[in-house]
Structure formats: structure tokens, C-alpha cells
Structure 1
Amino acid sequence: MIPLVILYNAVSLDGRITGFNADVELYYDLASKWNVDAVLMGSNTVLKGFGVKPGETLEESEESFKPRVKDPEDKLPLLVVPDSKGRIRIWSELLKMPYINDVLVLCSRSTPTEYLDFLEERYIDYLVVGYQQVDLENALEELNTKFGVKRVRVDSGGILNGVLLRAGMVDEVHLLIHPELVGGTTTNSIFQAPDLDDDEVPIKLYLESMEKIKDDIIYLQYRILDGMFKL
């Protein structure tokens, strides 16, 4: 069984996830109050958030190559990042984030051995799930059975969101709607996936709550009624 999966994004009124003034403090303040065991973040989101290119490294201290002392009483969530191509090389920076207790990298059987060695040298835990790419459903099941993860917050962009939504692995969608319009033709919405076929229908949702938070920002909480299915 996979954990409960909550997709969480800050968006403009026209559904964009970039190009507007997102209230980052509010975003993480709300997220910190949720009782989640893990945060699933896409590799593109990590690279963009830290302003680095795929494969780029930063200066590391000697502590990066030593085992970390883990506090069993630490209730902060585990950060989980799919990275089967070995694009992220700044794990020591991610470990400095104040709202996580540790990191876990999701790899596949196609992940270069050199990258697995890179992770092991830095005592970064990883999980091999899938062949050419990460099998997210299997990964979520492993998180549940091996790590006791019951609730996951997805803090990512449209590509990872799209994979999870299309596969029917999302239970709830939470959105912070900002009173700004971005426009443009570049696709950067919260849900990036192939267009529906003629015999497929949109995912149905149920509005559980709606709240005006601050500065005309609206907080919406939806529950998925059913995933995409064939007519």
C-alpha cells in the first residue's frame, strides 16, 4: 500500500508556478503544520531552487564524508528525491534545509554506478526502484513498508506532479492561489503530462475547504475523487 499523497503548490490565478511573486514564507509556514512523514521533491525543482546545473558540484566540508548522527526523536520529514540519472551533486546543501531530517535518493537500475559510489561516499541513503527510470509507485510502497512513511507531501513542479496524477497516486491537491496573472505560452503549470486521448477523461476533485489567508491569497484543499480512467 502506498502512503497518502498530498500534492502542494503555490500558483498564480492562471495556474502558473513561475513568473509571479509567490509568498514563500506563507507556503512553508502552512506546510510545516502538516503531519507528513516525507516530502517528495523532483530533481528539476532541486536544481532550480539551488540555482545549479545538472551534475554541478559545490565545495564540500570534511563533514560531508562522515556518517551523520540521526536523532530518533526528530519528527521532521524525510526528503525524497528521484534522481536516476545522477544529476544532483549538492546533497550536503540539501541536508542544511531546516525542515527535513534526512534525505533519500530514488535511483533505478540504469543509474550509473559512479553516482551510487558518489552517494555512498557521502553516506546518502538511496533506494533502487525501477529499471530505466524510477518506479514511483514501487518507491512509495517501499517508503511505507521500510521507512514507515504514511503521509507524503509532494513539493515539486509539473513534471513529477503529472506522473503522479496520471498514475492515480495522488489523494489530495492543496493550492495557494496568488492574485496575479502571468500569461505567456510556456508550459509551466502544476500538471504537465501528455494530452488526454479521446477515451480518457479529466481527474475529478472534491473541494474540501477554501480559505482567504492573507493579501488576497486563497488556500484551496481538494480531494481526488477518481483518477483518469477509460470511458
Structure 2
Amino acid sequence: MRPFVIISSTMSIDGRLASRDGFSELSCPYDKIRQHVLRSEVDAVMVGANTVRVDNPSLKLKYFKGKDPVRVIVSESGNLDPSYRVFQTPPTTILYTKADSPQLREFISRGVIVRRFGTVCDIITDLGEHFNVRKVMVEGGGKLNWALLREGCVDELRLTISPTIFGEGVNVFQGEGFPGKDAPRLVLENSYFCQCGKEIILKYKIK
């Protein structure tokens, strides 16, 4: 049985994770706490390569105490700087790539686990079978979100709607899109106002 997958994103009213110039500071302090509470509840947190390049996140717990999840980075090319914060171990970091280059030795020397993959759903299965992961939190970016949704391995979607309109930029699901009749059907489980009074939080299950 594959791990349970939750996509968690904060987006503008028009569905953008970032503006056309890369600005992505959308979360209020309460939203950041919610994000880190969820991190503490999962076994692994996953991001795509562009999120690493743009944000240079550590993906550790900062706004909530608990055990750091396994960090999972997806990069087809493996073309990432080993000095990025997410590659400083511990906690455990796994780099999934389709590349086979000498550069990968640098990651391994830093304690990063390097794995090959075919599809993003293969990654989810591998995490369950070989790393005892039962629940995965996906923090983007848009291309990774789209790939997981397209391949049908997303179980839950948690969205924070920020009172911002970009008009252009990175979509929360950045891909070619579904034909209307093939679009996933969502079931709204919960919705509420953030404590800041400016954001709305939505929680969906995917049929």
C-alpha cells in the first residue's frame, strides 16, 4: 500500500504559488505554523528542484517542535548545488533523479541518499517500501504538484488562499491540464478563516 500523499500550498486568489518575478512570500505567521505542524505529522516532506533553487529551504521544523521528517528532493537532471541547505544532513535527505553523472558523488559524500525513478508515483511507492514512509507532505512546486495529480497519487489537498492577485506566474498545478471530463473530483472536507482574518484555508479529499 503506497503512502498517503498530501499537497500543501499557499496560493494567490488566482492560483499562483509565485509571481512572474519569483516573489512567493504569501504566508502569514499562522500559516507558517500550520505548515510546520503538518510537517511534524508526516514521515517525509517532498519538493521539486526549482523550489530548492529559488527558496533554498532547509525543510526542517522551525515554527513547531517535533521530529524532522525525511526530506525528499525530485530533480530529473540532478543539476543542483550540493551546498543548498536541504542537503546538509541530518535529517535524512533523499535525492530522486534520472541522471547518472559524477556530480552525484558529491551528494553521496555529504550523506544524501541518491535514488533513481521512473515516474513520481514510483517515488511515493519507493518511499513506502524502502524507507517506511506512511505519509508524505508535498510542498511544491507547481510542476511536481501537477505530476503527482496527473499520475493519480494524491489523496488530500490543503490550500491557503492569500489575498493577493499576481495575474501571471507559477500555477499551483503547473502542467498541460486535464480535458474537462477527466479532471479529478474533489470533496471539500473543511474550510475556515485563518486567525489573521485575511486568509482562507481549504481542505479537500480527492476521489
Correspondence 1:172-183 to 2 at 5 A = 172-183=156-167
Correspondence 1:117-136 to 2 at 5 A = 117-130=105-118, 135-136=119-120
Corresponding residue SS for 1:174: strand
**Distance (Å, rounded) in 2 between the aligned partners of 1:32 and 1:202:** 30
Corresponding residue SS for 1:33: helix
Change in 2 beyond 3 A, CA 1:30/1:96: farther
Alignment of 1:102 onto 2:84: no
* Equivalent position of 2:62 in the other structure: none
Corresponding residue SS for 2:123: helix
Alignment of 1:219 onto 2:201: yes
* Equivalent position of 2:61 in the other structure: none
Corresponding residue SS for 2:77: coil
Corresponding residue SS for 1:28: helix
Instruction: Tell me how far 1:50 sits from its aligned partner.
Output: 2.7
Correspondence 1:42-121 to 2 at 5 A = 42-50=48-56, 75-91=67-83, 93-95=85-87, 101-108=91-98, 111-121=99-109
Correspondence 1:179-218 to 2 at 5 A = 179-184=163-168, 186=169, 188-197=170-179, 200-213=181-194, 214-218=196-200
Instruction: Tell me how far 1:24 sits from its aligned partner.
Output: 5.5
Q: Which has the higher strand share?
A: 2
- Runs of 4 or more off by more than 6 Å in structure 1? none
Q: What stretches of structure 2 of length at least 5 have no aligned partner?
A: 58-65
**8 Å contact kept, 2:56–2:84:** no
**8 Å contact kept, 2:45–2:138:** yes
* Equivalent position of 1:37 in the other structure: 43
**Distance (Å, rounded) in 2 between the aligned partners of 1:126 and 1:91:** 16
Change in 2 beyond 3 A, CA 1:21/1:123: closer
Q: Deviations over 1:131-188 (max 9, x none)?
A: xxxx22222111111111000000012111110001111001101101122224x4x2
Q: Deviations over 1:11-43 (max 9, x none)?
A: 111111113651264333102222100001000
**8 Å contact kept, 2:82–2:106:** no
Equivalent residues, number: 192
**Distance (Å, rounded) in 2 between the aligned partners of 1:86 and 1:96:** 16
* Equivalent position of 2:126 in the other structure: 142
* Equivalent position of 2:152 in the other structure: 168
The one-letter code sitting in structure 1 at the alignment partner of 2:204 is Y
Q: Pick the aligned partner of 2:137 from 145, 153, 168.
A: 153
The one-letter code sitting in structure 1 at the alignment partner of 2:5 is V
**8 Å contact kept, 2:73–2:96:** yes
Could you state the TM-score of these two structures normalised by the residue count of structure 2? 0.83
Instruction: Tell me how far 1:91 sits from its aligned partner.
Output: 4.5
**Distance (Å, rounded) in 2 between the aligned partners of 1:96 and 1:29:** 23
* Equivalent position of 2:15 in the other structure: 15
Q: Deviations over 1:77-114 (max 9, x none)?
A: 011001231211235522559xx822110122xx1331
Change in 2 beyond 3 A, CA 1:41/1:24: farther
**Distance (Å, rounded) in 1 between the aligned partners of 2:80 and 2:30:** 27
Report % sequence identity. 27
Q: What stretches of structure 1 of length at least 5 have no aligned partner?
A: 52-73, 226-231
Corresponding residue SS for 2:157: strand
**Distance (Å, rounded) in 1 between the aligned partners of 2:84 and 2:163:** 36
RMSD over aligned CA atoms reads 2.3
* Equivalent position of 1:64 in the other structure: none
